[in-house]
Amino acid sequence: MIISIQYLYWLAGVILAITAFMTATDRSNPKRWTTGLFWGLFAIAFLVGEKLPPVWVGVGVIVMALIAGFGGVGFGQHQNLNDRARRESAGRLKNKLFIPALAIPLVTVIGAVLLKNIKFGDVFLLDPANSTFVSLGIGSLVALGLACWLTRDTPVQAMRESRRLTEALGWALVLPQMLAMLGLVFNDAGVGKAVAHLATAYINLDFRLVAVMVYVLGMALFTIVMGNGFAAFPVMTGGIGVPVLVGMYGANPAVMAAIGMFSGYCGTLMTPMAANYNLIPAALLELPDKYAVIKAQIPTALAMLVANILLLYFLM
């Protein structure tokens, strides 16, 4: 491939390294050394992570967790445009401000859909396994160029803004990755098998409705624990879906699978383990309650679980 995901890791690593440097030299941040170290370690994971021995990376992850856990990740002062200048700028640029913002999703979609299969000889243009991510990276760079051109601002200022938002997110930016890592550790340690064992060993599945409920709620519960419906699906479907719903009650496997996975997604809506969807947005929107998004989703998720139980019961 010509544009591989590795370039994006390097790009992210460089951005984080600049952030770490800016932070460490920012005297307005009372915790500038620990904060700088935190972003510095994260930058290293992106720049050379795959070349380091995994044990070292593991130690680095633990150090980052300790820095974050004991309040070592702080933020500095930031020079915003004053209110009047911002109003003038908004009044001058008007709808042009939307162009770079919309360019990110548009370029990403164009790349992921149209450029995905383009090859030069035998070489793919975009990394075929990660075409969406690579397209997002290209989209962000195109949008950055547009934004600098329209606002007559510099890439250096863009880096300052990136650092402002990175510091505002703080350790929450690293959390999704930590949780995904935990999911893999859970897998290696056999947590899934233990949960499925508990669910199937102590519940009487001789009633069709009970079996349906155990499958649907089990998918949700398991996803709440693991933070990911993909991890729950093999365990619950292997434990209950195939042997009980299909085997005993003759369910249509397509219906069972489709509704089962959606039940897992209901769990995703309710768990802090799915940090990318639930905790990061709360941080991005600067909400004081980091569980506010989950709270807003719980009624929809619970109603959807009831709907899924009924749909599976009547359609399968």
Partner 1 sequence: MQTAINLWPLLGVLVIVLGFVLRFNPMLVVALAALATGLAASMPLETILATIGTGFIKTRTLPLIILLPLAVIGLLERHGLRLHAQNWIARFTGATAGRLLIAYLFVRETTAALGLTSLGGHPQMVRPLLAPMAEGAAESRFGKLPEALRIKLLALCAATDNVGLFFGEDIFVAFGAIALMHTFLLGSGIDVDPMHIAFWGIPTAICAFVIHAIRLHRFDQRLNRELTALPPASAVDKELAR
Window 129 to 158, contacts with partner 1 (CB under 8 A): 130, 132-133, 135-137, 140, 143-144, 147-148, 151, 153, 157-158
Residue 79 or 120: the one with the smaller Cβ distance to partner 1 is 79
Among 21, 249, 265, 313, contact with partner 1 (rule: CB under 8 A): 265
Give me the residue label for tokens 């070592």.
72
What's the min distance (Å) between Cβ of 3 and partner 1?
14
On whether the CB atoms of residues 107 and 139 are closer than 8 A, the answer is yes
Residue 204 φ/ψ, nearest 5 degrees? -80, 115
Sort residue 118 into left (φ over 0), alpha (ψ -120 to 50) or beta.
Answer: beta
Give the span between the Cα atoms of 169 and 171, in whole angstroms.
7
- Of 275-294, binders to partner 1 (CB under 8 A) are 275-282, 284-285, 287-289, 292-293
Give the span between the Cα atoms of 191 and 184, in whole angstroms.
10
- Of 229-248, binders to partner 1 (CB under 8 A) are 229-230, 233-234, 237-238, 242, 246
Q: Give the number of residues in contact with partner 1, rule: CB under 8 A.
A: 147
Residue 84 found at the interface with partner 1 (CB under 8 A) = no
Residue 74 found at the interface with partner 1 (CB under 8 A) = no
Q: Please state, in angstroms and as integers, the Cα–Cα distance from residue 174 to each residue in 65, 180, 251, following that order.
A: 9, 10, 41
- Of 175-214, binders to partner 1 (CB under 8 A) are 175-186, 188-191, 193-195, 197-198, 200-201
Region from 24-32, 118-126, 204-212, 226-234 binding partner 1, contact rule CB under 8 A: 226-234
- Of 97-126, binders to partner 1 (CB under 8 A) are 97-98, 100-101, 104-105, 108-109, 112-113
Give the span between the Cα atoms of 146 and 55, in whole angstroms.
42
Collapsing DSSP to helix, strand or coil, 3 comes out as strand
Collapsing DSSP to helix, strand or coil, 115 comes out as coil
- Of 34-73, binders to partner 1 (CB under 8 A) are 45-46, 49-50, 52-62, 64-66, 68-71
Q: At what angle do helices 131-151 and 83-93 cross, to 10 degrees?
A: 100
